[in-house]
Structure formats: structure tokens, C-alpha cells
Amino acid sequence: MKNKRDFQRVYRRGQSVASNALVLYLYRNRGQGRRFGFSVSKKTGKAVVRNRVRRLLREICRLNESWFPENYDVVIIARKDAVGKNYHDLAGQVHHLIGRATRKLVPKG
């Protein structure tokens, strides 16, 4: 995902779950497959730090695409606590959040 309109749609209509380091949004798209977007605020740190966090998140999503439901837009927002975490810590949090989010999507009963 690259354009602002897609991000805004996911923020407004999507399902969100959060941890201390990440916020994850899920929104069903129109059959466009899995699409990922990443947001790291300037509050997180300087550009080098933000880019490292973004690269880690991108790599987590690339290597573990099967964790995410098909035909959903996924936006992951990194909070300050994401700084300094290694790949395995962030991957564990993403896996936990995606599990919580998909349970919210499934109707009860």
C-alpha cells in the first residue's frame, strides 16, 4: 500500500489491535491479495532508527505471509517501544496481534 487514501480507509474502517510496541490494523480489500503498509512516527527516533524498524517489519511480513488472511490490507504502526527490539521480539508481537485480530474478525456462534 502506498497512497494516503488506502491508509485512511484502513484506519477508519479496519479492525485494530495493539501491544506496547505495535498497532495492527486489518481491513478486507476487494480481492487485491495481501497488501501491507507500515508507519513509523518521527517520535520514534531519527530516520536511521525509523528505517530500521520499518525494514524489520517488512521482513517479518515477507517471511511470514501465511500468518495474514488473504485479501486483507494490513497496516502496522510502530510505537516508541519498538525501537531496540530485535527481529524475534517484533515477530512474536506481530504473530500475537494477527492472532487477536483474526479472532475478532470471526463472528461468534
Pair 34, 64: CB distance under 8 Å: no
* Number of domains, the chain: 1
Residue 67 included in any domain: yes
Establish if 107 belongs to a structural domain: no
User: How confident is the model at residue 109, as a pLDDT?
Assistant: 54
The CATH number that applies at residue 53 is 3.30.230.10
pLDDT tens figures, 7-57:
999 999 999 999 999 999 999 998 889 999 999 999 999 999 999 999 999
Does residue 47 or residue 103 have the better pLDDT?
A: 47
Domain extent at residue 10: 4-102
Mean predicted confidence (pLDDT) in 67-79: 96
Determine, yes or no, domain membership for 46: yes
pLDDT at residue 20 in the model: 96
Whether 47 maps to a domain, the answer reads yes
Contact 108, 81 (CB under 8 A): no
